[in-house]
């Protein structure tokens, strides 16, 4: 590969934590650091923190592997051409932050801004479970449900750069309220928040479960463990998540003719329990010649995925 000696810098800004990394061209993370976002401090202080950590990483770059660019993923709506974070729902006060301008003052490098789900999708596509596919959707099951859509080997942005927002597909007309202001979105069922909510509802009804703690203390991680021991509550919650996700994916596959879906994010550990019902629903609804050829797998890169997406973004957008 040409330029095989080059590296790039990456930052994944989350509502709670920030990860920065030094990444090689194939998406391998050579060095990484993480620290709390504490977004209440305001963009100026947080950005200064990111710059300080990135400079530390840049200094660690092996000789002759100077970073060729910097890619930053942010959890919100962006104007990519201007490099501005327009709004981040989980970071109050972060409005119209000129991320690229701030970073460009600190680094003599091309700087690119991307939505965090898209950067995650690029990572799994470029260096993870989506390698070699041309049409795929990468879904992140975390606090919310995010998505990045790759069509014809390119990120698909749509007319308003809002494509891929799969978490707000409607799955229950009179469902639970969602963070977006709507009701019954996929996110209210298949995210960490949604799964915990469903678990607590189960507990409220005093239905059978192996869980003995307080309803308020229930987490998706506890439900993974309980599901392994055959807990009816956890299995029912994951089955419901698989059903909702299946309904959405049937529509997406039938409409777009994708080759695969990669499931990542913090709650992807539940995938083994979500999968059976998901497959059942998909087999029922898919209108494709050969469903066996569709790839439906868990992501491979975990938390490194957005960092691994940096070289792909720089290559795609910087030419």
Q: What is the contact surface with Zn ion in residues (CB under 5 A)?
A: 168, 178, 180, 182, 185
Shortest Cβ 52–Zn ion spacing (Å): 35
Cβ count within 10 A of residue 87? 13
Shortest Cβ 189–Zn ion spacing (Å): 11
Q: Which is nearer to Zn ion, 180 or 256 (CB)?
A: 180
Helix (H) or strand (E) run with residue 131 in it: none
Q: Which is nearer to Zn ion, 102 or 185 (CB)?
A: 185
Q: Which is nearer to Zn ion, 11 or 178 (CB)?
A: 178
Q: Which is nearer to Zn ion, 182 or 213 (CB)?
A: 182
Distance CA 265, CA 142 (A): 5
Shortest Cβ 124–Zn ion spacing (Å): 23
14: closest CA among 65, 69, 75, 55?
75
Shortest Cβ 48–Zn ion spacing (Å): 33
Q: What is the C-alpha R_g of the chain?
A: 20
Shortest Cβ 121–Zn ion spacing (Å): 19
Residue 62 gets which letter from DSSP? P
Cβ count within 10 A of residue 114? 26
Helix (H) or strand (E) run with residue 260 in it: strand 260-264
Q: Which is nearer to Zn ion, 17 or 162 (CB)?
A: 162
Mark out the alpha helices in the chain (DSSP H runs).
43-60, 99-106, 116-127, 187-190, 192-204, 220-228, 232-256, 271-285, 305-308, 310-318
Pairing of the two strands 111-115 and 136-141: unpaired
Shortest Cβ 284–Zn ion spacing (Å): 25
Q: Which is nearer to Zn ion, 19 or 168 (CB)?
A: 168
């Amino acid at each position: 590969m040409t330029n095989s000696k080059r590296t790039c810098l990456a930052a994944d800004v989350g509502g709670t934590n920030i990860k920065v990394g030094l990444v090689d061209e194939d998406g391998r993370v050579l060095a990484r650091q993480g620290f709390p976002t504490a977004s209440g401090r305001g963009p100026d202080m947080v950005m200064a923190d990111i710059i300080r950590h990135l400079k530390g990483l840049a200094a660690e770059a092996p000789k002759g592997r100077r970073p060729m660019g910097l890619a930053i993923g942010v959890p919100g709506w962006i104007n990519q051409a201007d490099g501005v974070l327009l709004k981040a729902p989980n970071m109050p006060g972060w409005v119209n932050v000129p991320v690229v301008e701030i970073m460009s003052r600190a680094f003599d490098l091309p700087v690119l801004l991307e939505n965090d789900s898209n950067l995650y999708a690029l990572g799994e596509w470029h260096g993870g479970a989506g390698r070699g596919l041309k049409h795929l959707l990468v879904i992140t099951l975390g606090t919310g449900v995010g998505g990045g859509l790759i069509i014809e080997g390119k990120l698909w942005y749509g007319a308003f750069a809002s494509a891929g927002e799969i978490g707000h597909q409607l799955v229950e007309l009179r469902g639970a309220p969602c963070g977006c202001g709507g009701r019954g979105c996929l996110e209210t069922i298949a995210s960490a928040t949604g799964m915990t909510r469903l678990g607590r509802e189960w507990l409220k009804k005093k239905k059978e479960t192996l869980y003995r703690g307080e309803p308020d203390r229930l987490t998706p991680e506890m439900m993974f463990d309980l599901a392994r021991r055959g807990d009816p509550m956890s299995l029912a919650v994951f089955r419901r998540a698989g059903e909702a996700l299946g309904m959405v994916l049937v529509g997406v596959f039938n409409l777009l003719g994708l080759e695969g879906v990669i499931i990542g994010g913090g709650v992807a550990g539940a995938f083994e329990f979500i999968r059976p019902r998901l497959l059942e629903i998909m087999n029922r609804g898919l209108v494709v010649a050969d469903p066996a050829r569709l790839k439906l797998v868990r992501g491979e890169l975990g938390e490194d995925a957005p960092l691994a997406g940096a070289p792909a973004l720089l290559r795609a957008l910087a030419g």
